[in-house]
Amino acid sequence: MALEDILAEHLAVVFCGINPGLLAAAQGHHFAGRSNRFWRTLHLAGFTPHELRAQDDRTIVQHQCGLTAVVERPTARADQLSVEEFHTAAADFERKIARHAPRFVAFLGKAAYCALSGQRDVAWGRQTQPFAQSSVWVLPNPSGRNRAFSQAQLVDAYRQLYLAAIDRLNTAP
């Protein structure tokens, strides 16, 4: 079961997960699960005036943000995906981003962006090369499994993107 994208044209930011988790796919909502820190991080970084819940994921477009995943196949862990799955998904994913034309595309975790860009390693934050004409940010994955980053570190990283996108975020669609 694929998790439906939440997208609109010309959003400020499209957040791109690596792929849906099993719980998110089963519930039909992005970043579901009590241990996932996405919704809290988004709020604390300034993207939303209050903390959204996974069940309210469709309202994120009201805040000039969208949600998608690079690979559609749900897994328990992102490391269960093969390099071939990223390569297979690449062209469709690039067309999707080009069609919706967000100002920023934010990859949540390095794995998907590295696979799509052909780079072995990338820095966190804003990248120098655009993806489908959108500026690229690479942010830490907010999964509860990612304990390399504290909540405060996630907020700091996401806040940098918020500050870069603030002019579009504060403009009505």
Place of tokens 């966190």: 124
SS3 36: coil
**78: confidence class by pLDDT, cuts 50, 70, 90:** confident
Residue 173, pLDDT > 60, answer no
Count of beta carbons in the 10 Å neighbourhood of residue 64: 21
What average pLDDT does this structure show over 20-29? Answer: 91
Asked if residue 3 belongs to a domain, the reply is no
Asked if residue 24 belongs to a domain, the reply is yes
**How many domains does the chain contain in total?**
1
Nearest to 108 by CA among 60, 12, 169, 41: 41
pLDDT above 90 coverage of the chain, percent? 72
Summary mean pLDDT of the chain: 92
Q: What is the pLDDT of residues 140-161, one digit of tens each?
A: 999 877 888 999 999 999 999 9
**1: confidence class by pLDDT, cuts 50, 70, 90:** low
Asked if residue 5 belongs to a domain, the reply is no
User: For residue 77, what pLDDT is reported?
Assistant: 83
Residue 170, pLDDT > 80, answer no
**Sheet strands (E) in the chain:** 13-17, 65-69, 104-108, 125-126, 135-139
Which residues, listed in sequence order, are joined to residue 102 by a DSSP beta bridge?
Answer: none
Instruction: State both tokens at 110.
Output: 């390095």
Domain span at 63: 13-169
HSE, CB side, 13 Å, CA atoms: give it for residue 84: 0
Asked if residue 7 belongs to a domain, the reply is no
User: For residue 82, what pLDDT is reported?
Assistant: 87
- Which amino acid, residue 26? A
Asked if residue 121 belongs to a domain, the reply is yes
Residue 167, pLDDT > 90, answer no
Asked if residue 4 belongs to a domain, the reply is no
Judged by phi (left if over 0) then psi (alpha if -120 to 50, else beta), residue 166 lies in alpha
Higher-confidence residue: 124 or 173? 124
Asked if residue 2 belongs to a domain, the reply is no
- Phi and psi torsions of 156, nearest 5°: -60, -45
**42: confidence class by pLDDT, cuts 50, 70, 90:** very high
Dist. CA 156–CA 24, nearest whole Å: 25
Dist. CA 5–CA 21, nearest whole Å: 14
Residue 172, pLDDT > 80, answer no
Q: What is the CATH number of the domain that holds 31?
A: 3.40.470.10
